[in-house]
């Protein structure tokens, strides 16, 4: 499975492509940061981001895209930019018919470090180790994008299994005789 991880942002948008399967060694295909000028207006910044993301999709042909899920409890202004950047990433993927998964920052941290509260440095260190890189990917947004892709590769089978189990449980429940349900 080849996954493009996107850590959305207007000033810096981290992108990282990882190939692999759960339980097997992972391989980094590419990593980088897309930047748009702070002095440009938001529509133009979104357009530049689209151009950059299209290049990554075209060059690396991922089969899935994992985007960081945006929460709005943080700083209002930056959340808007992040939400808008993530919309462009989701749109580019959907236009190509690629499945998109959203993972929260703590899901990503938990996947690569074992703790949902891990610090940035710890995430970076684990990404470097898991992808057998010679140095830490910089800036942090680039490392976060790789962590997102890894998280997706590792969680995907569990998510499928969960969906399958839930469906089976539902079917089983509907088969129970009336009195057996409380």
- The interface mask with a second copy, positions 38-57, x = CB under 8 A, is ---xxxx-xx--x-------
| Coil vs helix vs strand at 17 | strand
In the bound state with a second copy, the residue whose beta carbon lies nearer, of 46 and 131, is 46
Q: Which residues 64-93 are close enough to bind a second copy by CB under 8 A?
A: 70-73, 76, 79-80, 83-88, 90-91, 93
Considering the complex, state which of residue 54 and residue 125 has its C-beta at the smaller distance from a second copy: 54
Catalytic residue list contains 41: no
CA distances from 37 to 10, 40, 72, 127, 144 (A): 8, 6, 23, 28, 21
State the number of CA atoms in the 13 A half-sphere of 153 facing the CB: 29
Annotated ligand binding at 7? The verdict is yes
76 vs 63: CA distance, rounded Å = 33
3-state secondary structure of 47: helix
**CA 113 to CA 109: how far, in whole Å?**
6
Find out whether 26 and 148 touch, Cβ atoms under 8 Å.
Answer: no
Instruction: Judge whether 7 counts as a catalytic residue.
Output: yes
Which residues ranging from 99 to 138 are in contact with a second copy (CB under 8 A)?
100, 102
Residues annotated as catalytic are: 7, 68, 141
Instruction: Please report, in range form, the residues annotated as the binding site for Mg(2+).
Output: 7, 68, 141
Q: What residues line the site for a second copy (CB under 8 A)?
A: 41-44, 46-47, 50, 70-73, 76, 79-80, 83-88, 90-91, 93-95, 100, 102
């Amino acid at each position: 499975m080849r996954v493009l991880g996107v850590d959305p942002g207007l000033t810096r948008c981290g992108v990282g492509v990882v190939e692999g399967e759960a339980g097997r060694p992972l391989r980094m295909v590419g990593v980088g940061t897309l930047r748009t000028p702070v002095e440009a207006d938001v529509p133009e910044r979104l357009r530049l981001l689209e151009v950059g993301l299209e290049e990554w999709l075209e060059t690396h042909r991922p089969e899935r895209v994992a985007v960081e899920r945006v929460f709005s409890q943080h700083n209002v202004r930056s959340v808007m930019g992040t939400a808008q950047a993530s919309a462009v990433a989701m749109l580019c993927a959907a236009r190509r018919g690629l499945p998109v998964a959203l993972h929260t920052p703590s899901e990503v941290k938990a996947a690569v470090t074992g703790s949902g509260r891990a610090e940035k440095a710890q995430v970076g260190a684990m990404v470097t180790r898991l992808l057998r890189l010679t140095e830490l990917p910089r800036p942090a947004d680039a490392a976060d994008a790789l962590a997102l892709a890894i998280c997706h590769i590792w969680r995907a089978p569990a998510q499928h299994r969960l969906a399958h189990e839930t469906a089976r449980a539902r079917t089983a429940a509907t088969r129970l005789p009336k009195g057996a349900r409380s």
